[in-house]
Amino acid sequence: MDKIAVLDFGGQYSHLIANRVRRLNVYSEILDSNTPAESLKDYKGIILSGGPQSVYEENSPQCDPQIFYLGIPILGICYGLQIMVYKKGGKVSPGKVKEYGKADIKITKKEGIFEGLGAEENVWMSHGDEVAQLPEGMEIIGSTDNCVNAAVADFEKKLYGVQFHPEVTHTKNGMKIIDNFLNITGAKREWSLDAFIETEMRTIREKVGENKVFMLISGGVDSTVAYSLIQKAIGTERTHGLFVDTGLIRQHEREEVEQAYKKAGIENVHFYYGGEKFFSRLDHVYEPEEKRKIIGDTFIDVQKHVVETMGLNPDEWLLGQGTIYPDTIETGGTKNADKIKTHHNRVEQIEQLIKAGKVIEPLMQLYKDEVRTVGQKLGVPEEIVQRHPFPGPGLGVRCLCAMKDDYPENHEAVEKEINDYLHEKYDINGQILPIKSVGVQGDARTYRHPFLIKLHKDTKRDWELLGEISTDITNRFNTVNRVLLLLHPRGVMDVKVKPGYITKDRIELLQKADYRVTQFIKYHKMYGEIWQFPTVLLPLSLNEGSGECVVLRPIQSEEAMTANFYRMNWKWLDELVDGINETPGFDGVFYDLTNKPPGTIEWE
């Protein structure tokens, strides 16, 4: 099959580029930026991705200069354009103006990648450096007000470069530009998910032979689709799945998964309840990292136990896994592949299977949206295909634990400083909470306090302004990495830690709020536009109450790298809060106004 290589220079959007190419029906792979030219000969075209560094900096990612002499069409995007120019003898320097966001490009040559475009196009820029001097053979084909060399080409050698990002949706005709490039490469449009399913089923049958397949499934999209594909390929009798209920899953999750599997004709899935073991090991544990480790280790123990009872003999069994393409690639975006999933795959018995070459990963070539489409084609119900991602440690990372009040040093002075500032600028005030949560600022992990803001009763509620205030607070005051809005009750005077670790009771309390939230956003058709909606339990009692607090954390995101807090319709939000208040056990309800960065999506 014809394919396109995307050389990855560490840009946020490398996967997006490969994904776009595939949507245009050409198979595309991500490769290391330094891949030798020799190994790229069989590709029909090469796309050089963006990247956060400067091409002239020491230790910045480079590429083999010979790639420009292979005679293969190349498209450089942002850093990719700059590295092409630099390697071919042109100059790159810091731009006089740094461009972030929308820009208009005047197209001076409507040929090659710009075939069929208008005289002016709306594009999306994000760069500090720019091309200062073109190498021989290259000419300008488009410019913006701030960037003369915004698009360049060497038509004869089929080398193209754009300073903007055609792969993001903000570039209106971005897909057309990539499509034009694919035409230039002459790659045949052979990549289709129907063809993928056919080929993969054949491969599975060949690989499994007379044996059987065992798989751990979480009820999420990837593992379910992988299981379903394997089952379709070799039949239900030889496919066995295991769903481990850690006690930290969502309310009714097991029943929902069971029902959805039944609907999809997915069979032979065993359910195992291991909750008691998790709760007893989490007894009196407060520290987030320790909790995570215990949950991961306990998962392995439970799994080991079940696998032993099932007596999987490596001579007869293969292990199926729902690994997808981004999980296999070590790029900026996916380096931190999730720990729990790795844990699942590291049990000794499973290690043995891996060593013996007995692991089968049918989705290893696919992106998430492709997995979803394959799922739909296989008849996996929508409630699973469109499911929000859920972390491996489950509600364990959404149930905060604390022993006693934990305020920053000079708490009162710091709080006063923030309040003076807020009062003067926005006429609002708030308070620092005596707990901490995880955040990410300047690429590093932080563990700091949330600041709870309170609005006057008659203040108009405005998400844009609240977003601005939130960013202002976290930028200005480094004791704080998260900003919350008080939704209920209207007035808070006294906040105290209500000592607590993970117990069945607390998880059940959280499950109730979480379940209500999930039902509510489905009912009001918000589920699709929200990317993920953690509901978080805080061990805080308000105004001498006996309950705890709950945080609503809906976000919008593209694959979790960055995220914006979701702006919910106020009327619905009020309804949701009323609903939560009907459940006994909650003293307060907060809304998380923090983007990522500076906050992470999860609290721990």
Residues that bind ligand XMP (CB under 6 A): 338-341, 389, 391-393, 532, 560, 596, 600-602
Out of 78, 399, 401, 549, the active site residue is: 78
Distance between CA atoms of residues 485 and 487, nearest Å: 6
In terms of DSSP bridges, do strands 586-592 and 151-154 run parallel, antiparallel, or are they unpaired?
unpaired
Pick the closer one to ligand XMP by CB: 375 or 393. Answer: 393
Distance between CA atoms of residues 21 and 189, nearest Å: 10
Q: What angle do CA 31, 33, 38 make, to 5 degrees?
A: 75
Q: E strand or H helix at 391, and its extent? A: none
Closest CB 561 distance from ligand XMP, rounded Å? 8
Pick the closer one to ligand XMP by CB: 393 or 500. Answer: 393
Distance between CA atoms of residues 495 and 544, nearest Å: 8
Closest CB 477 distance from ligand XMP, rounded Å? 21
Q: Output DSSP code: residue 80.
A: H
User: b/e map of 152-161 (b: 16 or more CB within 10 Å)?
Assistant: bbbeebbbbb
Closest CB 242 distance from ligand XMP, rounded Å? 17
Closest CB 391 distance from ligand XMP, rounded Å? 3
Strand, coil or helix: what is 328? helix
| 399 is known as an active-site residue | no
Kindly state the tokens that stand for 306: 């079940």
Pick the closer one to ligand XMP by CB: 448 or 596. Answer: 596
Pick the closer one to ligand XMP by CB: 541 or 595. Answer: 595
Closest CB 397 distance from ligand XMP, rounded Å? 6
Q: What angle do CA 361, 363, 369 make, to 5 degrees?
A: 160
End-to-end alpha carbon distance in the chain: 44
Q: E strand or H helix at 455, and its extent? A: none
CB 487, CB 573: distance < 8 Å = yes
Phi, psi of 578 (to 5 degrees): -60, -45
Q: If we measure between CA atoms, which residue out of 99, 86, 103 comes closest to residue 161?
A: 86
Phi, psi of 123 (to 5 degrees): -130, 170
Pick the closer one to ligand XMP by CB: 29 or 338. Answer: 338
Kindly state the tokens that stand for 416: 């006063």
Closest CB 338 distance from ligand XMP, rounded Å? 4
Q: If we measure between CA atoms, which residue out of 300, 279, 303, 302 comes closest to residue 291?
A: 279
| 276 is known as an active-site residue | no
Out of 121, 167, 200, 548, the active site residue is: 167
Pick the closer one to ligand XMP by CB: 162 or 248. Answer: 248
Out of 15, 165, 344, 449, the active site residue is: 165
Kindly state the tokens that stand for 191: 């990549």
Closest CB 598 distance from ligand XMP, rounded Å? 11
Q: Output DSSP code: residue 45.
A: E
Kindly state the tokens that stand for 268: 């032979």
Distance between CA atoms of residues 273 and 244, nearest Å: 6
**What string of DSSP letters covers 108-147?**
S--SGGGTT--SEEEEEEEEEEEEEEPPTT-EEEEE-SS-
For the chain, helix (H) and strand (E) counts, in that order, are: 17, 25
In this structure, the chain runs to a length of 604
**What is the amino acid identity at position 212?**
K
Closest CB 117 distance from ligand XMP, rounded Å? 36
Pick the closer one to ligand XMP by CB: 277 or 339. Answer: 339
Distance between CA atoms of residues 373 and 258, nearest Å: 21
Pick the closer one to ligand XMP by CB: 366 or 563. Answer: 563
Residues in Cβ contact with 305 at an 8 Å cutoff, skipping those fewer than 6 apart: none
Closest CB 394 distance from ligand XMP, rounded Å? 9
Pick the closer one to ligand XMP by CB: 232 or 398. Answer: 398
Pick the closer one to ligand XMP by CB: 338 or 574. Answer: 338
Q: Output DSSP code: residue 599.
A: B
Distance between CA atoms of residues 170 and 124, nearest Å: 6
Closest CB 506 distance from ligand XMP, rounded Å? 19
| 167 is known as an active-site residue | yes
Residues belonging to the active site: 78, 165, 167
